[in-house]
Amino acid sequence: MKIYLTGAASALALGATLAHAEPQAEVLHYWTSGGEAKSVAVLQEEFAANGGTWTDMPVAGGGGDAAMTALRARVLSGNAPTAVQLKGPAIQEWYEEGVLADISNVAEAQNWAEVLPESIASHMKCEGTWCAAPVNVHRVDWIWANADVLEANGIEMPTTWDAFNAAADTLQAAGITPLAHGGQAWQDATIFEAVALGILGPEGYRKAFVDLDMDTLKSDEMKAVFDQMRKMRGYVDDNFSGRDWNLATAMVMNGEAAFQIMGDWAKGEFTAAGKVPGEDFLCASTPGEGFLYNVDSFAMFEVEGDDKRAGQELLAELVVGKNFQEVFNLNKGSIPARTDVSLEKFDQCAELSSADMTASSDSGSLLPSYAHGMALRGAQAGAITDVVTAHFNSDMSSDEAVQMLADAVANSM
Amino acid sequence: MTKWLEENTPKLVLAPSFIAVLVFVYGFIGWTAWVSLTRSRLMPRYEIEGLIQYDRLFASPRWDTALNNLFIFGALFIVIAMVLGLVLAILLDQNIRTEGALRTIYLYPMALSMIVTGTAWKWILNPGLGIEKTVQGWGFETFEFDWLVDPDMAIYTIVLAAIWQSSGFVMALFLAGLRSVDGEIIKAAQVDGIPTWRVYTAIILPSMAPIFLSAFIVLSHLAIKSFDLVIALTGGGPGYATDLPATYMYAMAFSRGDIGQAASSAMVMMMVVFAIVVPYLYSELRTRDD
């Protein structure tokens, strides 16, 4: 009898497999560090629980350079992975190569247009069709501070750049490094875009770093941005060159430095060290209006076979699903891309981030981060970063920097 | 049949490697040259657009810095490593007792990977950890040695590390050269009462000319392909102050999705190599003809 039952069950299972193909997905990603790997495991488990077979293809290397090289080789050989961790304009760039798949039916069935903020949704579309699924939203324009250091020096979280400068001067007089910073080009760019957003305002930022408007790039406001960057350079200790961002975070944690300007992945460092937001460390948006986002997403590549296509659709559905968005972002330190996920389990920095995201989305100041590859294509973003880091690491004048900026952008087209 | 085999065996044996070199070296050089003439971004494209990528390249201040750095680094590295290697070799050539041990010690850095050298020197030169901190700790409060974080001086830290790595190898090369000079001539010179320094400058060194040339070629190609050392030691920073053409090409090809630009920089690098190697080959082939 038992044997009969098993036989029947396997016959049934076989029938099911034949009827609709078992979802298959080969996923290329570069989430290989501790917290990130844990976050991917969440997705893998959920995928398997829904009857799918997941083939993991992690390629180590934080910025994803190595992963992109692997992807290029796969696409050139006509054997693209099912889904690839891609973000920003790179999605459209790959679309133009004619290799991305259309997942509009999933997006429409799941009502993505309703639950995602409009500007974030626009990154997931390729000429009107949906071609990628967002995973999270990292806010980039954060300023982190050591609560004890601020209190001991009678300083509030700054809300204008002048207030920041005043606070930094006080701290410097007290012998504390005001700004913890790692001297790598992308970190220079991170500070630069936060300063630019504050000084140019959301409209000016969009003109400069999304539309690449030459007048804005050469404007007096842009000179003011470089002036402020020169000040920031003075607030950084002398030994910052080549330092990793998490070491800069540690300086804030230990009270060696007061502030750090860095995306919300820095929060992961604080909480991993057992620090409590609001008590040990403070978080606030950098001075000025607006919200700079860095959205991780999965782009779906054109694949052959029903099982692979089924896997693609299941993956897209799960990635934007409420459950995954909550669990993943709790692990990663970011906030859900969809706006209807309950934030009960998140900390106050994430709540602030989420509230700001909704508000900025309504007021049109929800903006893509240029430093993290959301606003511009690689060549243009790289050209701007070259100028920013050259200015930050030399005694170049703001006039010179603005001229160089305009030339570099023109040259990168 | 056997006769045919006898005649053609050398060709058959050489054919596979010949074809491999033809395709994977010259074929890819040709491919890179082609791509450098296109507007390739993320993926290679094949419509020829002319010299736009080269225009962009030479308008880029970063490429300027990279090329300047190559000349500063190359010149200092080659000259100092050769002089130092020669001095060490001459000193070791004095029939001292522990020569074997000393030679190993000098040669040892060559056994390390450039990445290890770079990382070790990064710590040694870091003002907050290494030499500067140590000397200040001894009481010399005003001592400063912050080349690593000074954009104007950082390129010299790369020279420093590269010399440390390679001068032992140059020494070994020269030592072999010194030993290969005909002992009879030296003895004859000594019998004639010629001072040792004259023996070196007038007899030994001139007869070592081919070794100088080999050392020069090896060092100059090391200089041009230096990539790992820069990545480990400075990461190209501060800013892009220590960029070399190799790191520039890598950044364009792999971080920025600007393949056309990377290809044009690779072509320029290749021309720099040719400028050095072609005269060398020319002189080599000519001497053989004689």
Q: For B112-134, how does the pLDDT look when each residue is reduced to its tens digit (9 = 90+)?
A: 888 999 999 999 998 888 888 89
What span, in angstroms and rounded, lies between the C-alpha atoms of B146 and B140? 15
CB contact under 8 A, A242 and B239: no
pLDDT of B275: 87
Give me the percent of chain B exceeding a pLDDT of 70. Answer: 99
What span, in angstroms and rounded, lies between the C-alpha atoms of A251 and A273? 12
Residues of A in contact with B239 (CB under 8 A): 185, 188, 389-390, 392-394
pLDDT band, residue A162 (cuts 50/70/90)? very high
CB contact under 8 A, A382 and B43: no
pLDDT of B205: 86
Q: Is the pLDDT of residue A13 over 60?
A: no
pLDDT of A195: 96
Tokens of B259: 């393949």
pLDDT of A17: 43
One DSSP character per residue, A172-216 reads: HHTT-EEE---BSHHHHHHHHHHHHHHHHHHHHHHHHHTS--HHH
CB contact under 8 A, B258 and A407: no
CB contact under 8 A, B41 and A379: yes
pLDDT of A356: 93
Between A390, A404, A408, which is nearest B239 by CB? A390
What span, in angstroms and rounded, lies between the C-alpha atoms of A210 and A123? 13
pLDDT of B1: 76
Residues of B in contact with A240 (CB under 8 A): 149
The pLDDT tens digits for B152-164 are: 899 999 999 999 9
Tokens of B99: 């020569």
Tokens of B82: 């050769």
Query: Side-chain half-sphere of A152: how many Cα atoms within 13 Å?
Result: 13
> Does ipTM exceed 0.85?
no
What span, in angstroms and rounded, lies between the C-alpha atoms of B170 and B172? 5
Residues of A in contact with B136 (CB under 8 A): none
Return the residue of B nearest to A411 by Cα: B56
How far the first Cα of chain A sits from its last, in Å, is 73
User: In chain A, positions 55-84, which contact chain B (CB-CB < 8 Å)?
Assistant: 63, 65-66, 68-69, 72, 75-76
Return the residue of A nearest to B253 by Cα: A69
Is the peptide bond between B238 and the residue preceding it cis, with omega within 30 degrees of 0? yes
> Strand A24-29 to strand A297-300: parallel, antiparallel, or no bridges (unpaired)?
unpaired
What mean pLDDT do residues A304-316 have? Answer: 90
pLDDT band, residue A12 (cuts 50/70/90)? very low
Residues of A in contact with B61 (CB under 8 A): 386, 390, 404, 408
Give how far Cα A103 sits from Cα of A110, A112, A218, B83, Å. 11, 11, 41, 65
The pLDDT tens digits for A122-156 are: 999 999 899 999 999 999 999 999 999 999 999 99
Return the residue of A nearest to B41 by Cα: A379
Tokens of B183: 């002992």
Radius of gyration for the alpha carbons in chain A, expressed in angstroms and rounded: 23
The pLDDT tens digits for A195-246 are: 999 999 999 999 999 999 999 999 999 999 999 999 999 999 988 888 889 8
What mean pLDDT do residues B15-35 have? Answer: 94
pLDDT of A91: 92
What span, in angstroms and rounded, lies between the C-alpha atoms of A177 and A190? 19
Residues of B in contact with A378 (CB under 8 A): 41-42, 255-258
Radius of gyration for the alpha carbons in chain B, expressed in angstroms and rounded: 24
Give me the percent of chain B exceeding a pLDDT of 90. Answer: 44
pLDDT band, residue B237 (cuts 50/70/90)? confident
Q: Provide the mean pLDDT of chain A.
A: 89
Tokens of A352: 């602030």
CB contact under 8 A, B43 and A76: yes
* Residue whose entry in the numeric block shows the structure tokens 């522990």: B98
pLDDT band, residue B18 (cuts 50/70/90)? very high
User: Which amino acid, one-letter code, is at A251?
Assistant: M
Other CB atoms within 10 Å distance of the CB of residue A53: 13
The backbone region for A364, taken as left when phi is positive above 0, alpha when psi lies in -120 to 50, beta otherwise, is left
Residues of B in contact with A242 (CB under 8 A): 122, 148-149, 234-235, 237-238
The answer to whether A97 contacts chain B (CB < 8 Å) is: yes
pLDDT band, residue B289 (cuts 50/70/90)? low
The answer to whether A408 contacts chain B (CB < 8 Å) is: yes
Coil, strand or helix: which one is A305?
A: coil
Contacts of residue B46, Cβ cutoff 8 Å, sequence gap at least 6: B34, B35, B38
Give how far Cα B251 sits from Cα of B123, B125, B235, B247, Å. 24, 25, 11, 6
Q: Is the pLDDT of residue A41 over 90?
A: no
What mean pLDDT do residues B93-106 have? Answer: 86
What span, in angstroms and rounded, lies between the C-alpha atoms of A243 and A262? 14
**Residue of B121, B150, B252, B255 for testing the chain A interface, max A β-carbons within 10 Å:** B255
* Residue whose entry in the numeric block shows the structure tokens 């007899």: B203
Between B62, B235, B258, which is nearest A379 by CB? B258
Q: Is the pLDDT of residue A14 over 80?
A: no
User: Which amino acid, one-letter code, is at A215?
Assistant: D
The pLDDT tens digits for A102-126 are: 999 999 999 999 999 999 999 999 9
The alpha-carbon gap from B38 to the nearest alpha carbon of chain A, in Å, equals 13
Q: Provide the mean pLDDT of chain B.
A: 89
> Strand A129-130 to strand A125-126: parallel, antiparallel, or no bridges (unpaired)?
antiparallel
The backbone region for B95, taken as left when phi is positive above 0, alpha when psi lies in -120 to 50, beta otherwise, is left
Q: Where would I find the beta strands (DSSP E) of A279-398?
A: 281-285, 291-294, 297-300, 366-368
pLDDT of A62: 62
Residues of B in contact with A238 (CB under 8 A): 127, 146, 149
Residues of B in contact with A189 (CB under 8 A): none
Give me the percent of chain A exceeding a pLDDT of 70. Answer: 94
Tokens of B6: 């006898």
